[in-house]
Amino acid sequence: SQQGEEDPQALSIQEGENATMNCSYKTSINNLQWYRQNSGRGLVHLILIRSNEREKHSGRLRVTLDTSKKSSSLLITASRAADTASYFCATVGTGGGNKLTFGTGTQLKVEL
Amino acid sequence: DTAVSQTPKYLVTQMGNDKSIKCEQNLGHDTMYWYKQDSKKFLKIMFSYNNKELIINETVPNRFSPKSPDKAHLNLHINSLELGDSAVYFCASSQRQGQETQYFGPGTRLLVL
């Protein structure tokens, strides 16, 4: 079953602006990951945050995790046209294994 | 030197046919996966293999049969294709079962007519 909902479904911003995407999930997690998918391509892993972490940074990416609210956010700062893609959150549950359960995705468009 | 490769990239076929999609990873990973992405871009895991052994089977119809001849390959065979099987199928791998980062292939776009 679907784990996460992402918000917004679509986001259009100007180059240089920040983009924030939110993800909510339903069950207890081991970790939460964000992936990017360019149109017609496979998914690329961006960042992983564990359940005992609250914030993580990687370059222009900042991820937060609030396990009490079962939510995460991905912030892309100083966006570029090349950031145009779909962004998915995915969770790994506490039940063992390494099954990724994906959210619904946010389509980001960065315009020049 | 693609890390996770899939063939074919596109597959157009008639309802009722049997088809296979191949996946290979050259990363030396132990664990491989198949995901299905529908027309609304929703991604769902189908299968996972660890060292050629099936570890996840997510209530997929038994028309779908994965086969792992060795840990670098995980192929997906689909019998009696149906219209609803039209989707993009992604293969992925991770270093080991507990290693979280997964590396995805470019996808196979299947269209059943």
Confidence at residue A1, expressed as pLDDT on a 0 to 100 scale = 42
Q: Give contacts of A86 with chain B, Cβ < 8 Å.
A: 41
Q: Phi and psi (nearest 5°) for B24?
A: -135, 140
The answer on pLDDT for B90 being more than 50 is yes
Going by pLDDT thresholds of 50, 70 and 90, the confidence category of residue B52 is confident
Write down the mean pLDDT value for chain B: 92
Q: CB contacts < 8 Å between A and B, how many?
A: 60
Contacts of B99 in chain A (CB under 8 A): 98
CA distance A21 to B111: 31
Q: Does residue A96 have a pLDDT over 70?
A: no
pLDDT in tens, A14-69: 999 999 999 999 989 999 999 999 988 899 999 999 999 999 999 999 999 999 99
Cβ contact B48–A88 (<8 Å): no
pLDDT for the residue numbered A99? 81
**CB-CB under 8 Å, A99 with B31:** no
Residue-wise pLDDT for B5-38, tens only, equals 999 999 999 999 999 999 999 999 999 999 999 9
Q: How far apart are CA A3 and CA A92, in angstroms?
A: 10
- Judged against a pLDDT cut of 70, whether residue A2 lies above it is answered with no
Contact B31 A98 (CB under 8 A): yes
Residues B106, B5 contacting (CB under 8 angstroms): yes
The radius of gyration computed from the CA coordinates of chain A, to the nearest angstrom, equals: 13
* Each residue's pLDDT tens digit, B98-112: 657 899 999 999 999
Asked whether the beta carbons of B90 and B4 are under 8 A apart, the reply is: no
pLDDT at res. B58: 84
pLDDT at A93 over 90: no
Model confidence band, residue A85 (pLDDT cutoffs 50, 70, 90): very high
Average pLDDT over every residue of B55-73: 90
Share of chain A above pLDDT 70, in %: 95
> What local confidence, expressed as pLDDT, does residue A95 receive?
74
Query: Contact B4/B27 with Cβ under 8 angstroms?
Result: yes
- Calpha distance B78→B32 (Å, rounded): 18
B107/A41 Cβ within 8 A: yes
Chain A residues whose C-beta is within 8 A of a chain B C-beta are 2, 30-31, 33, 35, 37, 40-45, 48, 86, 88, 90, 92, 97-102, 104-105
| pLDDT, position A3 | 60
